[in-house]
Amino acid sequence: MTEILTQVAPATLGYAAVFGLAGLACLASIPRAQQVEKPDVRRGLVWLLLTSGGWALFKLGFLLSPGPRLVEEAMYTIGLAVGFGTVWAWLYFCSAYTGRTYHRRPRFRQLGLGIFAAVVTAKLTNPIHGQYFTLEEATTPFSYLAVNHGPIHWVATGLSYTLAAVGLFMLYELYAESGYNTRPLAALSVLLGLPVLLDLLALWTPLIEIIYAPLGVAAFTVGVLFVFERRFLAVQEAGEDDGPAVFLDSNGRVQDYTPAAKTAFPELRDGLGRPLDEVAPALRAVSEGGEQVVEAERDSGVRYYMAATSQIELGEVGGQMLVLSDVTAAERRRRELARHNKQLEEFASALTHELRNVIQIIDSRLAVADARMDAENEPVAHESVERAGEMTDRMSGLVDDFRSLARYGQTVEQVRPAGFESAVRDAWTSADTGELTLTVEGEATIDADPGRLRQLLVNAFEFARHNGANVVRAEPLADGFAITEDGDSPTGDTSRYFAFGEAVPDAESGMKLPNVRAFARVHGWTVDIDTDYDRGTRLVVQGVSVRASPSDRLAVAASSAPVPRDGVAGDGSATGGEAATSTEPAVTGETAADDESAETDETVDPSGPSKGTGI
């Protein structure tokens, strides 16, 4: 090796050192590039470093090669082929980094592969046609093997620089739209084009003609990966979104922000390098993780922003991207809707109270009239009084339904996990089911609002009682659950059973299934009658988030026998003492009617996912 170096001119050693350092810098940066989070950006950057580093090292070998001429020509030719691959790695990286999809489109890939193959073929067959380059000994300004480029070289070089300019355009467009201070990145991108000036100067100055492009790639990649890596990550994460965004380092200090963020939170203007909780306290909770709405007081009024964070890392360097979306109009509508819903609930509560008072007065008057009436001498009047009493009972039930719809009929905003069996049992104790018998088959966990789920099940059970059923079976399904009873089978158009005001199948049960559908819809679920089931009525609720397999069949009673509300088994025998009590507690009609306190105690897990579409 020492002998080779002593045979090389000192100036040539200088060129060799420059290209050697560029090649090693590119290859040494690959581990750093492999830590970029986005796969396509990482892949493009790694291939750019590989091809550019390989190109530079082949140039090093060409400059230091002691001969023969065939080896020197092979070194230069292979370097040219690898170097042309740099163009396509560069385009792939630029497309991925700027959020475009050109690098994924099959047509562009096939076109690029075709051009690459054609140019590389021209380079590899140069010993045959000699139109790409020729080599000759030069003595000025020092002794070296000079490269004389032919017409094919200049065509390929023009194409390469044109494609490289396309990539630069994509980068500069992103820099302009990101809103960040991207001047350092723009300056690094300019370094990519400086080798072009060296190539041109070599035509009229003592510089040797050897293509200096690897030097620009090395400067760019080392700069973005080791010097301005935080800004490189921030621009990549922000993409083409020109909305408010703040970039924080791993210690929560403000590193950069977009102009839109400065407009939304002017206090950021003097906040570079300071902790975010000191600069903008309203954003402190968001920076700790999660997604929430924050409000900012401005001269034009209160503005609302949906704030979310994402972690970005590159090796040991990392931070947070705090992205803000202006949701002022939507948040104002949401708050207005919440206010209207609250007013509606208050109105429904007051109206329910007044109607119950009226019904109680009517009941008491009817009771007085019935007590003073001679049933034998005035049978028609006595029957009328009894019928009026029945209507007040029905009116009382309708008032309860109205109150439940007004209270629970709004769209479910958050849900929490609930055990299916426990939810069914809880609803069973709240429903007026008479002598019905319940069996629960299978266990699962579903995501629901507890109060609304209970009302859905209560109405389903009470429909079964009105429908002449004796046994009710509840079972979880893969995407929901089913309530099956052995009463009358539905007839005609089953959609009429779910319509308010249709009184199908009769006036007594006409409100129950419409209520079931209403409480399903507020969850975003669907409910239908299984028309293939002919041994009663089977309600199927779908669209439910269900976890655990419904294949484990569990009966309500320890003996797997159906358990009625009053603790009497299906065969009429009493279930044993504590077993009956612990399996299915008896509930009277009065208890079911007075179960409002249990509903009031329901809470909603604020961490649960949002659901529902409203009725």
What is the tally of helices (H) and strands (E) in the chain?
22, 16
Domain ranges in the chain are 2-236, 243-326, 329-408, 410-600
Classify domain 243-326 at the CATH class level.
Answer: alpha beta
Beta strands in 288-355 (DSSP E): 291-298, 301-314, 317-326
More confident residue, 293 or 52: 52
Residues with Cβ within 8 Å of 493's Cβ and at least 6 positions away in sequence, in order, are: none
Length of the chain: 615
pLDDT of residue 371: 72
In the sheet that holds 437-440, the strands lie side by side as 526-529, 537-542, 480-485, 471-477, 437-440, 563-564
pLDDT of residue 37: 77
Cα 492 → chain centroid: 43
Amino acid found at 378: E
Span 76-86, mean pLDDT? 89
pLDDT of residue 392: 64
209 backbone dihedrals φ, ψ, rounded to 5°:
-85, 105
310 backbone dihedrals φ, ψ, rounded to 5°:
-145, 140
pLDDT of residue 608: 41
Q: 3-class SS at 542?
A: strand
Is 410-600 a domain of CATH 3.10.20.30? no
pLDDT of residue 243: 66
Quick check: 19 pLDDT over 80?
yes
Q: What's the pLDDT band for 38 if we cut at 50, 70, 90? A: confident
CA atoms within 13 A on the CB side of 258: 26
Classify domain 2-236 at the CATH class level.
Answer: mainly alpha
Using one digit for the tens of pLDDT, what is the confidence trace for 477-514? 999 999 999 999 998 888 888 887 666 676 666 678 88
pLDDT of residue 561: 40
pLDDT of residue 583: 35
Two tokens, residue 481: 């659950």
Nearest 5°: the CA angle 585, 591, 593 is 135
pLDDT of residue 577: 35
Residues with Cβ within 8 Å of 179's Cβ and at least 6 positions away in sequence, in order, are: 238, 242, 245, 258, 259, 260, 261
Rounded to whole angstroms, how far apart are CA atoms 558 and 378? Answer: 53
Q: Which of 79, 54, 53 is nearest to 220 (CA)?
A: 53
pLDDT of residue 607: 37
Is 298 within 8 Å of 210 (Cβ atoms)? no
Instruction: State how far the alpha carbon of 448 is from the alpha carbons of 16, 125, 430, 609, 614, in Å.
Output: 70, 71, 18, 10, 14
